Amino acid sequence: MSEEKISKKEIEHLKSLARVQFGEKETEDLVGDLEKILDFVEQLKEVDISNVPEMTHAADLKNVFRKDENPKEFDEQLVGNLISAFPEKEKTYLKVKAVIKK
């Protein structure tokens, strides 16, 4: 394995960016796994990519437009289904913890 690519401190930072929380043991395993994967993808450095464009998509698509109108009829059942999936609600409102502290 080449020089250390990712430290435990960095993993902690990534965990906070990605909004995940788990224990010490899992974090340590992840350091090892990510090292291995980053080591593996290192071989892409051999490829000459000068003057090569980035490929962002497999479909040869131009912008797809639709008329500026509501594409979907109001679907009461769908709305009801979406609301009933809320983990916490009050009437038909989605309930979340306060974002800004008092």
Distance CA 23, CA 8 (A): 12
E strand or H helix that includes residue 89: strand 89-90
In the complex, minimum distance from the CB of residue 13 to other proteins, in angstroms, rounded to a whole number:
9
Distance CA 102, CA 99 (A): 10
Give yes or no for residue 1 binding other proteins (CB under 8 A).
no
Choice from 3, 9, 22, 76 touching other proteins (CB under 8 A): 22
Residue among 3 and 60 whose Cβ is closer to other proteins: 60
DSSP 64: -
In the complex, minimum distance from the CB of residue 5 to other proteins, in angstroms, rounded to a whole number:
9
Choice from 53, 74, 76, 91 touching other proteins (CB under 8 A): 53
Give yes or no for residue 66 binding other proteins (CB under 8 A).
yes
In the complex, minimum distance from the CB of residue 38 to other proteins, in angstroms, rounded to a whole number:
8
Q: Which residues pair with 93 in a beta bridge?
A: 90
Joined tokens for residue 62: 């131009």
